[in-house]
Amino acid sequence: MPGDRPLFPSRSEIAMSHAARRVPSAHPHSSPPLSGKPVEPSPPAPVRGAFALWATAVAAGVVETVLAVGGMVADGSASAAGIAVGVAVRVVVFAAALLVAVRMRRGHHWARIALVLGLGVVGTASMVIGPVRALLRGDSLGSALAEAGAVELLFGASRVVHVAAVLTAVVLMFLPAANVWFRAHRACSAS
């Protein structure tokens, strides 16, 4: 009977009604009911993993830079200016890589492509070209390892971690759950 219920629903009834109708979404800019503030949902596991691996690759690059600079200073094979320029270039590349990886983690498709092309293709090629040339010249991996000192072995281990992190991050960024994440963000940006 109309007299049994108030004419207008209370605020809590309205909130409950909105919450009941709300369907979970992969949309990157979903908001909780009645909050007024957009909340970024957590990216799927492959995107989070790719981000962690990009950070790992940058950390490995820093280790390699420190070892290389230490070696150049110790043997006097480079000038202070040459070392400073090399370090400055690497700092810019490392910072840019991290910034782009953050954008990738937030669902920006352009960042995923930039990471693939810039670090996945060009960066990986720059890291493996030296060892590939040595193997093509006939140098053996066994003899290189036997002659290597502690610093060279540490550098090599860091390089292996670096390359593995980059290649795995590239794969993770294109798994189905990651593709859904990037498509949802693109759809949000287009609307």
Over the stretch 120-155, which tens digit does the pLDDT of each residue have?
A: 999 999 999 988 998 899 888 888 888 989 999 999
Confidence bin at 18 (pLDDT 50/70/90): very low
pLDDT at 163 over 70: yes
Task: Flag whether 39 is in a domain.
Answer: no
Residue 14 pLDDT grade (very low, low, confident, very high; cuts 50, 70, 90)? very low
Inside any domain, residue 80: yes
Quote the tokens at residue 120. Answer: 């996945």
Q: Decide which of 21 and 9 is more confident.
A: 9
Q: Are 160 and 141 in contact, with CB atoms under 8 Å apart?
A: no
Round to whole Å and give the CA distance between 34 and 16.
10
Q: Which domain holds residue 107?
A: 46-190
Q: Alpha-carbon distance 169 to 64, whole Å? A: 19
When mean pLDDT is compared across 34-43, 108-117, 153-162, 171-180, the lowest value belongs to 34-43
Measured CA angle at 47 (ends 43, 49), to 5 deg: 115
Indicate the pLDDT class of residue 191, thresholds 50, 70 and 90.
low
The answer as to whether 164 is a domain residue is yes
In a domain, 13, yes or no: no
Q: CB-based burial of residue 88 (10 Å sphere; 0-12 exposed, 13-18 middle, 19+ buried)?
A: exposed
If one counts the domains in the chain, the total is 1
| 12 is a domain residue | no
Which DSSP helix (H) or strand (E) runs through 63?
helix 45-75
C-alpha–C-alpha distance, residues 54 and 5, integer Å? 58
Structure-block tokens of residue 47: 């995107």
Tell me what pLDDT residue 41 has.
79
Closest CA to 143 of 72, 151, 152: 152
Mean pLDDT, to the nearest integer, of 32-39?
59
Residue type, 95: A
Please indicate, yes or no, if residue 33 is contained in any of the structural domains: no
Res 53 pLDDT > 50:
yes
Residues 25-50, mean pLDDT to the nearest whole number: 70
In a domain, 93, yes or no: yes
**CA–CA distance, 37 with 31 (Å, rounded to integer):** 6
For 137, the token pair is 């010249």
How far apart are alpha carbons 38 and 115 in whole angstroms?
27
Query: Does 20 reside within a domain?
Result: no
Residue 16: per-residue pLDDT: 45
pLDDT tens by residue, 77-132 = 888 899 999 999 999 999 999 999 999 999 999 999 999 999 999 999 999 998 89
